[in-house]
Amino acid sequence: MAKVFLGLGTNLGNKKNNLLTAVNKIEEKIGKVTSLSSFYETEPWGFKSDNSFLNAALCVETSLSPLAILHILKEIETDMGRTQKSVNKVYSDRPIDIDILLYDDIVMMTDELTIPHPLMTERDFVMKPLVEIAGDTVHPVFGKRLEEIFH
């Protein structure tokens, strides 16, 4: 089974409920959620909005491939009301956003998916919850523990 770390964010609607719904759908469709971070309230990143975000990270154990997971996550986002994905660093308010951060120690870059997530280490709203549940995990590109990268 692969250990996959996902980042979750929401800034529309009942944010806590959105995160809990996403966690339940991930467990239902992808695999066993083995850890879930605290929920962190954060300011929007990369765009202006009056709506703060609620962010979290989780670990899910799965036998699915990275691309299969990506397609299921897109389906979950759509089912939860997400109408568009961010393109060319243009961000907007959203009921849910789920990103694959790490998949075991895989490094991959395709047109559809890059693992590890290329911007994860630049984003406190990703790293803080991720370090909470996976501080000793080694970043497969930087070769350092996540806790070392974040602090």
Catalytic-labelled residue, pool 97, 104, 105, 111: 97
Catalytic-labelled residue, pool 50, 79, 93, 99: 99
| 123 in active site | no
Report the C-alpha dihedral over residues 103, 123, 121, 10, rounded to 10 degrees. 0
| 124 in active site | no
Is the CB of residue 14 less than 8 Å from the CB of residue 20?
Answer: no
Catalytic-labelled residue, pool 50, 82, 136, 145: 82
Residue 90's identity, in one-letter code, is V
Could you tell me the two tokens for 15?
């944010």
Catalytic-labelled residue, pool 50, 94, 111, 136: 94
Active site residues: 82, 94, 97, 99
